[in-house]
């Protein structure tokens, strides 16, 4: 006997598999709008670091202890420029 049509079970099974595959594509990081927005934000932050434009960063003075040749201790004051949101935390020290 030759089967010429899908059964209801085969139809529901194939629709379920298609839904799982399609939802997997939409929930992957490749299609994540948040990741795209974060990459553009990182690009703008990199440009500001390159141009030394720290107007949108939180700037604090920090003291750092440096040990040279295992005995000579030196304390220097540096500026810490930092940016932080819910996804990104980045900072740079500047003398």
State the pLDDT at residue 30: 59
Can you read off the two tokens belonging to residue 7? 């059964």
CA dist., res. 11 & res. 28, Å (int): 26
Chain centre distance of CA 60 = 24
Angle (CA) 39-62-85 rounded to 5° is: 25
Instruction: Give the pLDDT means over successive 10-residue stretches in the chain (95 positions).
Output: 72 90 75 68 87 88 88 90 87 86
State the pLDDT at residue 42: 85
State the pLDDT at residue 4: 62
pTM reported for the whole predicted model: 0.55
Instruction: Specify whether the CB–CB gap between 66 and 73 falls below 8 A.
Output: yes
State the pLDDT at residue 46: 87
């Amino acid at each position: 006997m030759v089967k010429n049509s899908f059964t209801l079970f085969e139809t529901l099974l194939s629709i379920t598999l298609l839904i799982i595959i399609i939802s997997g594509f939409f929930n992957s990081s490749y299609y994540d709008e948040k990741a795209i927005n974060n990459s553009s934000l990182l690009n703008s932050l990199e440009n500001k670091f390159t141009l030394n434009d720290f107007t949108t960063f939180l700037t604090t003075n920090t003291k750092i202890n440096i040990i040279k040749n295992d005995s000579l201790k030196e304390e220097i004051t540096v500026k810490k420029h930092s940016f932080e949101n819910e996804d990104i935390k980045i900072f740079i020290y500047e003398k």
